Chains A and B, each alone.
Chain A
Amino acid sequence: MDFLIFQVPMLTLQATLDGLLLGILFALIAYGMALQWGVMNIINIAQGDLVILGGYIAYFMYLSGIHPAWGIIVCPIVMYFVGVGIYKTVINKVVDRDLFISILATFGISILMMQLMNFAFGADVVLANSEFGTTMLFNNSVTLPNSKIFSAVVSIVFAICLVLYMKKSKLGRAIRATAQNARAAKILGVDTEKVYAATFGINAALCGVAGALIAITFTIHPYMGLPYTIRSFMIVIVAGLGNLPGVAMSGMGLGVFEEFADYILGTEFRIGSVFLLLVLILVYRRFKLSRKREYLK
């Protein structure tokens, strides 16, 4: 391995730390996807676009003089209602329908959101500057923007709150019951329609938080959503549905992979390598299962 990143330990450390912090953020988005996938059996292709929309809310707060970090409070609230709105208008018609219909519907929402955001906010790459400063480690050879540390901490806090909410609250119990067996839950008095709407709303709210954090830490652009969808999907299939520690671990693994791919292949191949990794993981699993005459489903 004749790459600079492996020859300079500090560079390796830098990439690893960057990747881990980034991965925690990915895991938060993937957590939302896993929740919704588990409960509604829908893969939301618009997941990444919800993230970007959340990011734009934080960006507009920043433009109007409010510190974008407050976005972590405002974005989930606004995005919850956006999520419920999308559920009521489109998703409720495709739950329990053929898989292709739901993927196509969310793919359509994704394209629509992209175009609307492009129309409303313009095609510029923007960021909400948090002015959090930078932390220097190891004699100034490793630099970590505080905004990245902030996003990782906020992501962890939100994930923990959600886990507790799902375990302790009445709605959380209803959501878990619906995920296990929607029909039985309905017979036992759970309003599954409400549960689905709430689940989609919670997923959108998580995307909103993640979006605000991405606007602070990185950059946002109307067409940047799809890679976040693919990343979440990849994290969920590697971890398995309902495996929360697995989601966190594979999220961080993906973050580190991306940082190393960035150093080794170059920034222009960063996103491409993520998509290729997804294909490779799927192909690997398919061949592994085909030996037992089974398939991924």
Chain B
Amino acid sequence: MNRNLLLYGSILVFGLVAPFIFPAFKVQLSILCILIILATTWNIQGGEMGYNTFGNILFYGLGMYLCASVQVGMFFPLAEWTEGGGEKTFVHTPAQFFQGMGVGLLVAAVVPTIVAGLIGYSILGLRGHYFAICTLGLGVAAGEISGGIEIIGAGQGFTTPPFPNIGSTEARGEFFYYLSFLTLVLTFVVVKAIYSTRFRLVLNAIRDNDKVLQHLLFQTLEVLRQEENSFTI
């Protein structure tokens, strides 16, 4: 236990000082945090429950677009923003930027969770090959369809609001790094807490023998994904 605490403590300290030790790699470090979050949450479903999914990018993308759309849509007309050069016409004040982002992150956490619940209800009854390919289909379908929706910029993409001009030139990188790192720590703590409950045993039981479990009157549990954060667009 003590050894684990030491390990977590040193990782935490390293995480806190990393942007100062490697100032040129802040973006990469932020992406590293995001990838760890994605891997940790994938493991709930793919590893612990044994449902191998290729479609989690659907929730990731949904979170991205929702956060950016809310951040823009709260203050400016979204359609005009996503038109060519629209992002140059409107400028967020620092207060608008952070307020929009906060609400956006909240929406980006709640809506994909609901979507995951609905999708999970429909497709978690599939097994093996079928589940894997179905989720692959969902992921790619989401990409293809969002590439056709005009209001979110269609094929040319969505330019997110630029970081407001506050603090030093390093502020942007540091802000996004610490936000990613904080999310990583929270995700880790939440997932670890989940794994210490009976829920983990249920997940493992689903993986090991779903059929027997159903006889034991458990319902196939839907793992709702909540960590689809959106600040890495």
Q: Of B54, B141, B144, B154, which is within 8 A of A107 by CB? A: B54
Q: How many residues from A make CB contacts under 8 Å with B?
A: 30
B62 vs chain A, min Cβ distance (A): 14
Contact A275 B132 (CB under 8 A): no
Docked Cα-Cα span, A287 to B123, in Å, equals 9
Question: By the criterion CB–CB under 8 Å, are B128 and A99 in contact?
Answer: yes
**Residue B111 at the A interface, CB < 8 A?**
no
Q: How far is the CA of A208 from the CA of B156 in the complex (A)?
A: 32
Instruction: Mark out the residues of chain A between 237 and 291 whose CB falls within 8 Å of any chain B CB in the assembled complex.
Output: 237, 266, 268-269, 271-272, 275-276, 278-279, 282-283, 286-287, 289-290
Query: Any chain A CB within 8 A of the CB of B138?
Result: yes
Report yes or no: B144 in contact with A271, Cβ–Cβ below 8 A: yes
Interface flag for B77 (CB, 8 Å): no
Closest chain B residue, CB of each to CB of A233: B133
Residues of B within 8 A of A230 (CB): 133, 136-137, 140
Residues of B within 8 A of A295 (CB): 125-127
Q: Are A103 and B129 in contact (CB under 8 A)?
A: yes
Other-chain contact of A275, B125, B128, B140 (Cβ < 8 Å): B140
| Shortest distance from the beta carbon of A203 to any chain B beta carbon, whole Å | 16
Whether B23 sits at the interface, judged by CB under 8 Å, is: no
B145 within 8 A of A: yes
Q: Which residues of B contact A99 (CB under 8 A)?
A: 52, 128-129, 132
**Contact yes or no, A286 B122, CB < 8 A:** yes
Q: What A residues does B155 contact at CB under 8 A?
A: 268
Which residues of B lie under 8 Å from residue A233 when comparing CB positions? 133
* Chain A residue, CB-CB nearest to B211: A295
Give the docked Cα–Cα distance between A103 and B144 (Å): 22
Confirm or deny: B224 has a beta carbon within 8 angstroms of a beta carbon on chain A: no
Given A107-B54, A268-B148, answer yes or no on A282-B130 (Cβ-Cβ < 8 Å). Answer: yes
Contact of A278 among B52, B129, B137 (CB under 8 A): B137
- Interface assignment of B91: CB less than 8 Å from any CB of chain A: no
Contact residues of B with A, CB < 8 Å?
A: 52, 54, 122-123, 125-130, 132-134, 136-138, 140-141, 144-145, 147-148, 154-155
**13 cross-chain CB contacts under 8 A:** A43-B132, A99-B52, A99-B128, A100-B132, A103-B132, A226-B136, A230-B133, A233-B133, A269-B145, A275-B144, A278-B133, A296-B130, A297-B128
Given A99-B129, A100-B52, A268-B148, 10 extra CB contacts under 8 A: A230-B133, A230-B140, A237-B130, A272-B144, A275-B138, A275-B141, A282-B130, A282-B134, A283-B134, A286-B123
A: residues with CB less than 8 A from B are: 43, 45, 99-100, 103-104, 107, 226-227, 230, 233, 237, 266, 268-269, 271-272, 275-276, 278-279, 282-283, 286-287, 289-290, 295-297
